[in-house]
Structure 1
Amino acid sequence: MGLFIGDTVCAIVQAACDLAFPLILRALTGGLFAEGRDAIMANLLWIAAGLIVMYAVRYGCKYFVSCWGHIMGARMESAMREDLFDQYERFSFSYFDRHNTGDLMSRLVSDLFDIAEAAHHLPEALIVCIIQVIGSFIIMFTIGWQLALAMLLVTAVMAVYMFRANTRMKSVFSENRERISGVNTQLEDSLAGARVVKSFANENLEREKFGRANNAYLASKEGMYRALGHYQGAGALLTGLLYTVIIVYGGYLVATGDMTVVDLATYALYVSLFTTPLQTIIDFTEMFQKAVAGFRRFDEILGTKPDILDAPHAKPLKVTDGHVVYHEVYFNYGEGVTDKPVLQGMNLDIQPGKTYALVGPSGGGKSTTCALLPRFYDVASGSITIDGQDVRDVQLDSLHRAIGIVQQDVYLFNGTVAENIAYGRPDATFDEIVDAAKKANIHDFIQTLPEGYETPVGERGGHLSGGQKQRIAIARVFLKNPAILVLDEATSALDNESEHAVQEALAQLSRGRTTLVIAHRLSTIKDADVIVTVKDGRVAEMGTHDELLQKNGTYAHYYRMQFQGERA
């Protein structure tokens, strides 16, 4: 706010200096400069000193506006970016399921840049331009009111036309913001899936898809510049009309004796001060429209209420035993995904410290069951409790700290091995990081890396194999030391050797913890304390491996299919 006030004051002083020069010149021309050589020579040094002081002040004001005004804009942009990122962090999985990453990135980068540029330049420009327009018009009115009224009439007529043109531009600029988001979305999608693109030799297909998004953006931008061309052309026409009025009507007033030639010359100087800020305002229209379109998109995000929040009465989760109970849980991912509930009355009592394996057909509800436990989504009805505490009644931060998750698709951040392990507990010491790596059976491998624990893993862990990434993810959970563990098909994409190493690490990780395991390879969960068959969103059967084989139900059917497939 201090910078904004300083910027505004400096802009006003700068505008006042610009307005003063024609008045000074008119006063000197009609006064001192008409008194003769001696009077002029006696006062030139004082005039020079006064003008130097005035323009030194103008220099200081211009510097402040250009330097600190931009710093103010950059700080505003930075603060807005943090607000937007904080809001992204509050959203649940369902929000990101519905929105493209490219669009969210566009709102965070290009939209906010346009807003910040306008937030800095427009107030300052408007203040300067309004002062110059009104000030020069008042001065021109005192010099010759007839000519001033004629200029005002021309300006009013053109202003009505330009206002209507400006209204038409709003929708064009909003469409343009959406189109550039489409380009960013397509780019992010293609680059993230680069390995799939290469493996299917579909580079040309991706070029075509990107080309369609890019051409849509181009068409939108062409429409934007056509509208802008009409608008700015009207501004140029206004300037020309005003000069025409001055020459024609001003010449008429000089001829009739209603205006002197000196006044007309002074008038011409002020017309420049009158038309230049008008043209500046016209030129800033593009920036303003971009900022308005960007701010609408920014405000749309901030105005979106996260669907999963701490309840007003939420308390920290206290895990005593790790007893998890699903009671009559129903859940649907929402419109556009499936009308049928994914979970339909799920009832499951998970005893403390035991390992429960979820098996069943794809789409049966296994992953959804696990995703509801840490409240990545909220149940539609029913309840999930941990040691008698409904997960909706505890603080999200404490809930997430109590649950460790190892997924099939491991995400490693673009940093070092140590940084990725420490993500489980950012305040961990190096010795604790090494201890977690040893427990995850990855320490010996890390020692062979060129820089050991300080070796960069590459984007998404691209420098490592699937098994190595998986064990780093397990080390991360070891460091977190959660009371409850969720293993979501953690070994399904690994080769036999990597799977064996990961299984050993997982066995140690799950020891003494309440553990939920999702697995398609039934051979990996034969030793689970309880195997639960999930089908059509419900528990179809449960028991040990031997008990379920004796029941000869769904689990036995799947097990025979896999076993026969392995023998074949």
Structure 2
Amino acid sequence: MPRGLTVTHIGEDELARGGRGVLRRIATLLRPYRARMALVMLAVVVAAALTAVVPFLTREVFDSALFPVDGGAPRLDLLGWLVAGMVVIPLVTALIGIGQNYLTSVIGNSAMADLRSDLFAHLQRMELAFFTATRTGSIQSRLANDVSGVRTVLTDVATSILQNTVTVSAAFVSMLLLSWQLTLLTVVLMPLFVVIQVRVGRRRQRLARRTQESLSEMTAITEEALSVSGILLSKVFNRAGAETERYRRANREQTALQVQQAMTGRTFMAVVQTFFAITPALIYLAAGFMVTGRVGGGNALTAGTLIAFTTVQARLQQPLMQLMRVSLDVQTSLALFRRIFEYLDLRPAVVERPGAVALDVATMAGRVEFDAVSFRYPEPRALSGTVLRDRFGDSGVAMPVPDAPGDGWALREVDLTVEPGQLAALVGPSGSGKTTATYLVPRFHEVTEGAVRIDGVDVRDLTASSLADAVGIVTQEPYLFHGTIRDNIAYAREGATAGEIEQAARAANIHDRIMSFADGYETITGERGYRLSGGEKQRLAIARVLLKDPRILILDEATSSLDTGTERLVQEALERAARGRTTIAIAHRLSTIRAADVIYGLAGGRVVEQGTHEELLARGGLYARLHAEQAGLPSQPDADGARADVSV
């Protein structure tokens, strides 16, 4: 845990206090579907009202049609009408139920789709530092597992609560009208059941949260171990057994939690079911005392009333049990909703300012200026059931830690300028801040102090879309998604024609190689482009940037891991791509930046020298020492006797 951070675990009391707020937010998810929800409510009320009529029809069947209480003969004509009513009502309620289920399914699944889309869109707006500090598998788990875990709440719970509440209310009123004494006997233990249910629900909340965290861990392990890179790593170091055992441990923990979650509350539900099962016997016993006069109210208790009452009481069991189960499901789902809302409540550290101006990529000059720029990576945000205190502002964005020796500024007071059309190179030891500096230009990170300007305008005052259009990046390890070569190149510009894609590929020295494949531009690249060589992937990445046609180009050690022949092809493509653009290149091989208009030497996050290749060699500083090391010449020590780190 980073220094100066206090971690507070969310406890049972906090979960209980926050429940209402979460429920209100869940309700807002259903707000766009208010009209359909109104239809569902109407259907529920009508169905419940019709169902409440049946017990009274049952009473009349016995007391008026079959065995009239006045001692008369059975009335078959009345019996026919009563039986017809008892047949029609279930048919009508069944039809209403079909429509109701359709509407609730549409409403719930639509709301869940909205939630999933909102979460994905919100994650797209998060800053780069969030993803570098968060495991991909954990993000995937919240987007897939957590959202899927609340499906029942969004699709069934609201309707189930309404339907069963109305049904229970109607049944309760019917029972009171039939016999208030027997009703009192039926509901005497209900308050105790409610208290127990609340306690069981809270325990299930805690278990649900732990279960999802465990599932998130399993997803992360799967993503790491079964990716192409993970499989290669485990095979190279013979770690397949260790990875399998790591997954088994997580799987065993998940299984144990699932069993605990499944069994929590089972005893309680069994007690409730047992109570409802024996209640008819108690009712018969109480009826015996009533009809013999030992308990008041026996004169009004007829056989039809007793049969109707037990019928209602039997029907009361199912909706009451469902209400209790739904309540437990809701409390369980609250833990999942909190995990989802935890992500939705994170505010991006990099946001577009009100009144931001748009760059005109077609007419912009492309001047890049760093003005006393200092940058330090923010503390990672704590998630998954913990809350960070002290270092967080009200926005939920991690606050920078005050400067301290060894605290780790990535950049300190950097001043540099790249004029329009220039090629500027950044060189220096590993960890000197080269990549960090280039990531500040497209505003992947927010500067801590100072300003980065394009054509004199602070990048914080530019619209995100125009800034993205103005800056293109080719990284050392280009990312290709699993798809065709054509799709990977065309990703840079929606609606690009086949001719434009081919032109970009030719400029990147990759067209002929593409056409040598059996499927040409329709060749599948494989996950992360692993079906292609490093040089092929690099040239496809260059073609993608050329299709984008940015005014500012950033090359992050784009030829560092290539063989000599491939490097020549890639270097030619890079030189072609850089023509007429403002280009910032992070140089691994210094031979590739001899012709740079200006070279900046970085060390310890500071610019320690600048000049052309010849000027810096003559100066005998950092660049000269790095150049000597790569040329196989003895390097000159620094003033303190240390030699330069040649990993640049």
TM-score in same-fold range (> 0.5): yes
- Name the counterpart of 1:272: 314
Matching residue of 2:261: 224
Which stretch of the first structure deviates more once superposed, 239-248 or 397-406?
239-248
- What is the correspondence of 1:372-383 to structure 2 with a 5 Å cutoff? 372-383=440-451
Q: What CA distance in whole angstroms lies between the structure 2 residues aligned with 1:264 and 1:223?
A: 42
Q: Which amino acid aligns with 1:163?
A: V
How far 1:386 sits from its partner (Å)?
A: 0.7
Residue 315 of structure 1 and its aligned partner are, at CA, apart by 0.7
Match of 1:544 in 2: 612
Structural RMSD (CA): 2.1
351, 359, 372: which is aligned to 1:328?
A: 372
State whether residues 60 and 304 of structure 2, in contact with CA within 8 Å, keep that contact through their aligned partners in structure 1: no
For 1:205 and 1:114, the matched residues in 2 are separated by 30
CA drift of 1:102 comes to: 1.6
Secondary structure of 2:632's aligned partner: helix
Deviations 1:484-503 (A, max 9, x none): 00001111122222211111
Deviates more, 1:13-22 or 1:87-96: 13-22
> Amino acid of the residue matched to residue 193 of structure 2?
M
Q: Secondary structure of the residue that 1:284 maps to in structure 2? A: helix
TM-score, length-scaled by structure 2: 0.83
**Are 2:144 and 1:100 equivalent residues in the alignment?**
no
The corresponding residue for 2:191 is: 156
- Would you say the 8 A contact 1:132–1:273 is kept in 2? no
- The 10-residue stretch of structure 1 (327-336 or 419-428) with the greater mean CA deviation from structure 2: 327-336
Question: Residues 525 and 531 of structure 2 are in contact (CA less than 8 Å); yes or no, is this contact kept in structure 1?
Answer: yes
User: What is the one-letter code of the residue matched to 1:517?
Assistant: A
Query: Residues 155 and 238 of structure 1 are in contact (CA less than 8 Å); yes or no, is this contact kept in structure 2?
Result: no
Q: Any idea what the Cα deviations from partners look like across 1:74-126, whole Å, max 9, x if unmatched?
A: 11111111111110111110111232222221221222223232122111111
Aligned residues: 565
8 Å Cα contact 1:331-1:381 kept in structure 2? yes
Determine which of 272, 285, 307 is the counterpart of 1:235: 272
- 1:447 counterpart (515, 529, 541): 515
Q: 1:265 to 1:38 in 2, by over 3 A?
A: closer
1:283-362 matches, within 5 Å, as: 283-318=325-360, 320-335=364-379, 339-362=407-430
Distance in 1 between residues matched to 2:138 and 2:284, nearest whole Å = 53
Is the CA contact (8 Å cut-off) linking 1:158 and 1:234 kept in structure 2?
no
Equivalent AA in structure 2 for residue 325 of structure 1: E
Deviation at 1:519, TM superposition (A): 2.0
Distance in 1 of aligned mates of 2:532 and 2:445: 31
Q: Which stretch of the first structure deviates more once superposed, 519-528 or 462-471?
A: 519-528
Kindly provide the amino acid, as one letter, of the partner of residue 153 in structure 1: V
CA deviation after TM superposition for structure 1 residue 270, in Å: 0.9
- Whole-Å Cα distance in 2 between the matches of residues 31 and 421 of structure 1? 82
| Alignment partner of 2:249 out of 204, 207, 212 | 212
Q: Distance in 1 between matches of 2:270 and 2:170?
A: 25
User: Which letter does structure 1 place at the counterpart of 2:492?
Assistant: G
Q: Which stretch of the first structure deviates more once superposed, 181-190 or 167-176?
A: 167-176
- State the shift of 1:238 in Å: 3.7
3-state SS in 2 of match to 1:95: helix
Contact 2:469 2:548 in 1 (8 A): yes
What residue is the counterpart of 2:546 in the other structure? Answer: 478
CA distance in structure 2 between the partners assigned to 1:463 and 1:290 by the alignment = 44
The 3-state SS of whatever aligns with 2:494 is coil
Q: Structure 1 residues 4 and 46 mapped into 2: Cα distance closer, same or farther (>3 Å)?
A: same
- Cα distance in 2, alignment partners of residues 270 and 51 from structure 1: 14
Asked whether the equivalents of residues 317 and 389 of structure 1 are also in contact (C-alpha less than 8 Å), the reply is no
Tell me, yes or no, if structure 1 residue 19 matches structure 2 residue 52: yes
* Residue of structure 2 aligned with 1:60, choices 90, 95, 101: 95
Q: 1:8 aligns with which of 19, 26, 41?
A: 41
Distance in 2 separating the partners of 1:376 and 1:80: 26
C-alpha displacement at 1:307, in angstroms?
Answer: 1.1
Q: Would you say 1:532 and 2:600 are equivalent positions?
A: yes
Alignment partner of 2:264: what SS?
Answer: helix
Q: TM-score, normalised by structure 1?
A: 0.94
Instruction: Determine if contact 1:310/1:395 at 8 Å carries over to the other structure.
Output: yes
Q: Deviations over 1:105-164 (max 9, x none)?
A: 122122222323212211111122112212112211222211211222222222222222
CA distance in 2 between counterparts of 1:135 and 1:201 reads 67
Moved more, 424-433 or 373-382: 424-433
Runs ≥4 residues deviating over 4 A: 35-38, 43-49
Partner amino acid for 1:293? A
Aligned residues of 1:532 and 1:539 also touching (Cα < 8 A): yes
The residue aligned with 2:494 is 426
Residue matched to 2:383: none
State how far apart, in whole Å, the 1-side matches of 2:256 and 2:87 are: 51
Question: Partner residue of 2:6?
Answer: none
Q: Using a 3 Å threshold, how does the CA distance of structure 1 residues 118 and 472 change in structure 2: closer, same or farther?
A: same
CA distance in 2: counterparts of 1:95 and 1:158, whole angstroms: 45
Equivalent residue for 2:622? Answer: 554
Q: Is the 8 A contact 1:154 1:242 kept in 2?
A: no
Structure 1, unaligned runs of 5 or more: none
